[in-house]
Amino acid sequence: MAPWLLSAKTGTAGRETDGIRGSSSGALRILDHADTAALWALAEADPVANIFVLSHLETTRTAAPTAAGGRVVGVFDGDELIAACWAGVNLVPVGVDADTGPEIGAFLARSGRRYSSIFGPSEAVLSIWSQLQFSSPQPFDVRSDQPLLQMTGTSQVSPAPGLRYAQPAELDVLLPACAAMFEEEVGYSPVSGGSHHYRQRVKSLIARQQSLVDFDASGQVVFKAELGTVSSSVVQIQGVWVNPSYRGRGLSAPYMSAVVEAARQVAPVVSLYVNAYNAPARATYETVGFEQVGTFATILF
């Protein structure tokens, strides 16, 4: 049996509605603006794990569906919101456990929508997938063990002095490094079907001062990382990459220390998650001062 094929009953075929549907835990429905405070409170119970939804709420100030088609499925026990899942291009659970996850997965399966990934706390992701798998394309990767790390203080490693925010004029130099990191991490090129959307993503990070980079004397990118998701309380670091020509020189820890220093100017807690099998990266993060506070999982389609 493939590792993502968990024991579960096949989801019922049908058409999802925005109305209330009963479940063993309570009622499921798409959240609207009136549910904003409840979703906020649910997400704030674990601001490191739930940074994606908290960042969204701080930007939009609403739990209502977005113009781009993103919405939040909520599970209620009476009037109390007990679990939720962002459903846009990606699925991102909030407060989901082994009981509520399969119910959300079955609810989402009825919609017939497709998603690029599911990511978040491992129990939540895998329990959603236990039902969603029956109506979904087979994923090309299931990463069930991704330590979730955080730092709340200053690193004892001296930060690399050259790291700085990327400038708009450096987009064309930075973009190949970003694409190389993505392909190494995910397994395919983000520009294989055209570069416009990925280029806009990198351009937006630069414009918001969330892209950090250092160059060598010849203008090559030596190191880059992003403050990928930002809330008022947590910054989640993403896209960490060292140029292969500079690997093995002990540069990773000083650069990561510099990233932490920059991130802590934005929010008091710095977080990231990493594949358990990536021993060099995990060693670097431990050296810098990160500690594990949970376990994420990611399913990629």
Residues 136-165: tens digit of each pLDDT = 999 999 999 999 999 999 999 999 999 999
To the nearest 10 degrees (0 to 180), the angle between helices 171-186 and 196-207 is 110
With cut-offs at 50, 70 and 90, classify the pLDDT of residue 17.
very low
Query: What pLDDT, on the 0 to 100 scale, is given for residue 2?
Result: 35
Taking 60 as the threshold, does the pLDDT of residue 108 lie above it?
A: yes
Query: What pLDDT, on the 0 to 100 scale, is given for residue 259?
Result: 98
CA separation for the pair 39, 57 (Å, rounded) = 9
**β 269-273/234-242 pair status:** parallel
SS3 272: strand
Residues 208-252: tens digit of each pLDDT = 999 999 999 999 999 999 999 999 999 999 999 999 999 999 999
CA separation for the pair 284, 280 (Å, rounded) = 6
Residues 29-85: tens digit of each pLDDT = 999 999 999 999 999 999 999 999 999 999 999 999 999 999 999 999 999 999 999
Taking 80 as the threshold, does the pLDDT of residue 26 lie above it?
A: no
With cut-offs at 50, 70 and 90, classify the pLDDT of residue 192.
confident
What are the start-end ranges of the E strands in the chain?
A: 21-22, 27-30, 71-77, 80-87, 90-94, 117-121, 141-151, 164-165, 211-215, 221-230, 234-242, 269-273, 291-300
Taking 50 as the threshold, does the pLDDT of residue 288 lie above it?
A: yes
With cut-offs at 50, 70 and 90, classify the pLDDT of residue 98.
very high
Taking 90 as the threshold, does the pLDDT of residue 7 lie above it?
A: no
Taking 70 as the threshold, does the pLDDT of residue 13 lie above it?
A: no
- Taken in order 12, 15, 16, 17, the sign of the CA dihedral is negative
Q: How many CB atoms lie within 10 A of CB 122?
A: 18
Residue written as token pair 């063990």: 145
Query: What pLDDT, on the 0 to 100 scale, is given for residue 23?
Result: 59
Q: Percent of the chain, pLDDT > 70?
A: 91
Higher pLDDT, 74 or 26: 74
Q: Quickly list H helices, 45-189.
A: 51-60, 100-109, 122-132, 171-186
pTM: 0.90
Q: What is the mean pLDDT of the chain?
A: 92
CA separation for the pair 58, 265 (Å, rounded) = 18
